[in-house]
Chains A and B, each alone.
Chain A
Amino acid sequence: MRTTRRNTLRRGGVGALLAAVTLLTSAGAAVADDPSPSASADGGTAGPTEAGTTFRTATAIQQGQKATAEASTGDYLYWAFPADAGQRPTVRAKVSLPESATRHGASTWQIDVYDGLRRRQACMYGHQTRKAAPDAGTVELSCVLRTVRAWSEPWASDPLPGSYYVRLTVVGLAEEDLGLPVHVETQADSADQGGAADVDGALAEPVVPGASAVSAKGGSAPAGTEPEDGWSSGWWTSRWLWTVGGGVLAALAGVLGYGLTRGNGRPSRVPPGV
């Protein structure tokens, strides 16, 4: 909210001079800066109905797909989805608990997200861990990751383009409730963060575990390890528009400034036709 207001203020302050360029950049901004996820938060397309149980067997899903699974309380469920530079992925999971009559107490559920190097990625916000009351029917979890950067130093653990693993499990429960059946739904969406997150440099290859991915079926890229429309080439950024727009504006302002020193129109003392 505050950012929007500040933006508006700033926009107002810059004033009429920039009115022309707003036209120019708003096209780019709309493409890149709108935080509208590609698929709506809830109604994703139906995805796989099974989940993996280790990093190695993680079920590949695409962003926007709703993966479901039947599992036992206490299982560790793994999915993997691809995320590209400039995206800020949000992982949501919903666990439908067994009937409360069969349960013996509260349970605490948790999602963890790991990157392609199996490094745990921090959740900026969201309910990563949540306690379900003994009589609750479902528990909903979410995790908003940091924006995926095209490049980072090897010593940083910034999220990089590549695979992301989601692990869903129960971390605290009454011993008697182990093994009871649960139904889980998981979905990963992402908001495009646009040019603000575009950094210089790129990885030669996205961080997709090459050896551990299931590649028995196809020859080339294993299904699900790549975004549906491929990895971005990395050259496009809305910064081109800003910079080019800035250059054009500077040129216009230069002409304007030059014109100001000339006064309004032709000096009256110059006779026509000279």
Chain B
Amino acid sequence: MIIRKRLTAGVCVLLATLAAGLGTALPAAADEPSAAASPKVELVLDVSGSMRTRDMGGESRISAAKQAFNDVLDAVPEEVQLGIRTLGADYPGDDRKVGCKDTKQLYPVGPLDRTEAKTAVATLAPTGWTPIGPALLGAADDLDGGDSTRRIVLITDGEDTCGPLDPCEVARDIAARGIHLVIDTLGLVPDAKIRQQLTCIAEATGGTYTAVQNTDELSGRVKQLVDRAAEPVVTPVATEGAGSCASAPELQAGLYTDRQEIGKHRWYRVNVLPGQELRASVSVAADRAVDNDYGILLRAVTAHGREIVRGAESGTGRTDAISTGLRYPKPEQDDADVSDGDVKPAAEAVCLQLGNSFSAPASVKTTPGMPVELTIDLVDAPDESADVAAFGLGRGWWLLGVMVLTGLIAGLLFGWISRWRVAVWRTN
């Protein structure tokens, strides 16, 4: 009897699992990415006087850069809109004020005419100052508009000496505009100050820093970065979390970005229907110099403030981001609970509270906040598990031993009883 009950239960579960497996394909692309928007890339090249130095395997830095640009222009994928901006190309004088404004667009961002672009690059001659900050601002404006991915590739051999505009601050401000702009930097000189500045710029926007030693490396890396821009990615939607659950923005399934200041909470709200599972994951990027130990906490809380489930993570040492996630399956409503058959079951508003425990030295600016990436998925909730083991089945030699012993004892008992009964019948 028990066995049969088990078996029926097993078959039921089996059918249910099969049905669930067939009925739900992979998460439907929740947010169709804007595939039409073609990615934009701007190469920002330093043409300051120091680019004349011959230390790239016997070549001057500028000729190495020109050669690399030619290679890159040949290999740019069709869909990429590429532009070129120079810094320090025009003003040869000593006036710092003028020299520090010397940045212009050499080739506009748009569909690429390879010959035209190459001709433009060929005319460049090392001339002036190194105004990285203004060049980045200019490049960000060049890439403005549309909803595509944007990338700036900055190639320089000197640090920004123009001040007071710190290029690193500029980069962070550009990133905070929420235009999904990444700045990759390439340094042509192994110098501590340049490295520091360029890594800071890259870190602030989620980009990379590369120390280039020869032409091949330079063209290889720039090609790689341009190709990377051509990779289709889903562009996140900007949102702004609130300071409390009541005023939190309501999110659908999708990918979101936000900014979070150190030590401040962010609240979001998601409506979860009975029979749905909420999956939320969040990562906070360490885009500035932060102290060595850090953590984040994501809590799912009911409207009344009861914590449902939490995801927490802490870390130490060098990192780009710290992330955690949680899932909350909301059970199917019982029929008894639904008084009226037609009424759609009410969705539960689940509040997500994001907190971080980053800390930063006093010299580090805390605004704008650190970049937050939040993914929300809503899928069907899983069936409740009735047993630890699959379908309540057994496994292993102990199970076999117990079953054999039980069978043996049952057989013996049955045999003795029937013998005894035969004996009784005979005597009667």
Contact = CB atoms under 8 A, between A and B. Distances in A.
A214 B234 contact: yes
Interface string B354-387: 0000000000000000000101110111111111
Contacts of A235: 14, 17-18
Interface in A212-229: 212-217, 219-222, 225-226
B318 A170 contact: yes
Chain B interface, DSSP helix/strand/loop, else mixed = mixed
Contact of B390 (A21, A199, A255, A259): A199
Contacts of B192: 175-176
A7 B211 CA distance: 56
Interface in A140-180: 150-151, 154-155, 169-172, 175-176, 178-180
Interface stretch (B118-126, B322-330, B335-343): B322-330
Contacts of A120: 313, 323-324
A212 B234 contact: yes
A216 B32 CA distance: 7
Contacts of A175: 192, 195
Contact of A257 (B277, B400, B415): B415
Contact of B195 (A178, A217, A245, A255): A178
B399 A242 contact: yes
Given A53-B208, A172-B317, A237 B391 contact: yes
A272 B36 CA distance: 93
B411 interface: yes
Contacts of B190: 176
B20 interface: yes
Interface string B233-246: 11010000000000
A21 B401 CA distance: 11
Q: Which of A205, A231, A237: most chain B Cβ within 10 A?
A: A205
B400 A14 contact: yes
A195 interface: yes
A274 interface: no
Size bracket, chain A contacts: 35 or more
Contact of B211 (A55, A72, A115, A246): A72
A119 B313 contact: yes
Given A176-B192, A196-B395, A250-B407, A221 B25 contact: yes
A239 B395 contact: yes
A34 interface: no
B424 interface: no
B149 to A, nearest CB: 9
Contact of A117 (B32, B231, B327): B327
Contact of B410 (A116, A204, A254): A254
Contacts of A74: 199, 208-209
Interface string B247-258: 000000111000
A202 to B, nearest CB: 6
B315 to A, nearest CB: 8
Nearest to B16: A202
A154 B395 contact: no
A137 interface: no
Given A117-B311, A199-B390, A237-B391, A212 B403 contact: no
A255 B387 CA distance: 31
Interface string B406-428: 11111111111011000000000
Which of B18, B187, B415: most chain A Cβ within 10 A? B415
Interface in B387-402: 387-397, 399-402
A246 B394 contact: yes
B376 to A, nearest CB: 7
Nearest to A21: B400
A120 B316 CA distance: 13
Contacts of A266: none
Interface in A1-44: 7, 10-11, 14, 17-18, 21
Contacts of A21: 400
B320 A117 contact: no
A105 interface: no
A70 B220 CA distance: 9
A178 B199 CA distance: 9
Contacts of B391: 200, 237, 239-240
A132 interface: no
Contacts of A151: 382, 385
A252 B253 CA distance: 56
A257 B395 contact: no
Contacts of A215: 29, 32-33, 234
A193 interface: no
29 contacts: A50-B231, A53-B206, A117-B327, A119-B281, A119-B325, A176-B192, A178-B211, A179-B195, A179-B210, A200-B385, A203-B277, A208-B26, A210-B30, A210-B253, A211-B27, A214-B33, A214-B231, A219-B29, A233-B18, A242-B396, A245-B400, A250-B403, A250-B406, A252-B404, A253-B406, A257-B408, A259-B411, A260-B415, A262-B415
Interface of A: 7, 10-11, 14, 17-18, 21, 50, 53-57, 70-72, 74-76, 102, 114-120, 150-151, 154-155, 169-172, 175-176, 178-181, 195-196, 198-217, 219-222, 225-226, 231, 233-235, 237-240, 242-243, 245-247, 249-262
